[in-house]
Amino acid sequence: MDFLAPRMNKLALFALENSNNHMEALRGIILLCHWPVPISSMYKDMTNTLSGTALHLAMQIGLHIVGTGQDFSRTVLPSDADHSSRISRAQLWINCLITYQNTSLRQGILPLVLLDSPQAKTSEKDLSSQFSDDVRFHRQMHNILITATSSLARLIPTVVSDSPSELYPFISLYDTQLQEMTSDTMSTLNTIYLYCYRIHLLAYHFLDWPSPDHGGLIKLYTISYKLIEYLTSKDQSVGFARACPDFIHKTTLLAAISILKIQKSELVRHVNSASGEKAYFSAIYLCQRISLQSNDLGARGVIILGQMWTSKNMYRRPDGRVDSLSTRIRSRLSMSVVFDSFWWWRVEFNGQTSPYPEQNRIARVTVQADATTGSDASQGFEPSVAAQVAAPPTGPVGSIPDMMPLDEPFPDFDWAANFDFQD
């Protein structure tokens, strides 16, 4: 892996530029975006660049005009009467679009919302019925999430806003649409994606101001631990974690941190705390299973999630009050929840200076307290938690074997804004 990883992205870019078969090159790029090479820092992540490049190459060869590409080619293509060719091109375009938009969402970047041309809409009516049930179902629920994201991104209130928030009714509207798609005939993968899409949608409750809707957060908590339970079940039966797409991996992090925030709030009295805690440590085990290298994002996520759970200062304000339901970062869409929580971790366990002055005051108090008591907040877990993490896999909760502490800082997930990186 150490030998192949640095070369894979270069080969992908080379294929986009020099391939004589653009369709095959696009399929290869899509696979690489779903299962990227291991990286130790998100600033090295090429998937958004690759997926965007692939999307524009797909448009360059006319895939966005569903059913034909002759107007975009200097050679004669198979006749439009070739029905299988038209369906193949249409499905490849859908895959390009979903891959690009999901890659953006998992990085907290607003994806482009492409409006189909009148020609595309007319042609697509004739072809969509020929798609497989899985393709049609995934496309439909994905379109709901993208439409919701486009709307909600415009409605996120600032923390100083005096206007009443409009997030709640829109979140409820789109979540109802996703719930209506639940079916007993859904494939395993579409069931997982439906959980993921609902989590990304319901996570916007954390961005509401002045206070989030508690009912919506409780629903998010329930969906989050159900996703992790389902992933754990599929990992035990078919080894799903070893082939987990990156979007699902990042959504697992979002689900785990959503559980953490609610567990540390007054809402813990209204949720199934035991199921949430069990799911949280199952998420840690899933991250370990997904990891391919000792210092990739999956491996680092194992350590970071564990330290977050044991922290006594996560989400603690200068007055000593724990305010875990608010979110300071508000520009990273649903993933704002993750990036904001990582800033709390970064200050306490990685010695970084927070861009939020009130958190720096908390950090100084913590350092003084640790010096007095001789404690080291960055070491290990509490005994009760360590027993769960160190135990061999039993049921959905697993162990974290062979995960040695890393010597270097953790610059991944866009935390190291002030590091001078050397390649």
Query: What is this structure's pTM?
Result: 0.82
Alpha-carbon torsion 240, 244, 247, 251, what sign?
Answer: positive
Determine, yes or no, domain membership for 158.
no
Q: Are 355 and 349 in contact, with CB atoms under 8 Å apart?
A: no
Determine, yes or no, domain membership for 46.
yes
Determine, yes or no, domain membership for 410.
no
283/396 Cα distance (integer angstroms)? 9
Instruction: Kindly state the DSSP code that residue 157 receives in the 8-state scheme.
Output: P
Q: pLDDT at residue 404 above 50?
A: no
Q: Are 27 and 64 in contact, with CB atoms under 8 Å apart?
A: no
Over the stretch 151-180, which tens digit does the pLDDT of each residue have? Answer: 999 999 887 777 778 899 999 999 999 999
Environment class of 268 (CB within 10 Å of its CB; exposed 0-12, middle 13-18, buried 19+): middle
Show Cβ contacts of residue 83 under 8 Å, excluding neighbours closer than 6 positions: 130
368/352 Cα distance (integer angstroms)? 16
Determine, yes or no, domain membership for 106.
yes
What's CA 392's distance to the chain center, in Å? 27
The two tokens of residue 380 are 């290990």
Mean pLDDT for the stretch of residues 382-402: 40
Determine, yes or no, domain membership for 120.
no
Residue 358 CB coordination number (10 Å): 12
The whole domain housing 97 covers 1-69+82-111
Q: Are 386 and 11 in contact, with CB atoms under 8 Å apart?
A: no
Determine, yes or no, domain membership for 419.
no
User: Could you give the number of structural domains in the chain?
Assistant: 1
113/149 Cα distance (integer angstroms)? 10
Residue 161 CB coordination number (10 Å): 11
Determine, yes or no, domain membership for 359.
no
Over the stretch 331-388, which tens digit does the pLDDT of each residue have? Answer: 999 999 999 999 999 989 988 888 876 655 554 544 444 444 444 433 333 334 434 4
Over the stretch 253-263, which tens digit does the pLDDT of each residue have? Answer: 999 999 999 99
Q: How high is the pLDDT of residue 354?
A: 80
First to last CA, the chain: 18
Show Cβ contacts of residue 358 under 8 Å, excluding neighbours closer than 6 positions: 317, 318
Instruction: Kindly state the DSSP code that residue 322 receives in the 8-state scheme.
Output: B
Q: What angle do CA 264, 270, 273 make, to 5 degrees?
A: 55
Q: How high is the pLDDT of residue 398?
A: 39
Determine, yes or no, domain membership for 348.
no
Closest CA to 339 of 10, 39, 42: 42
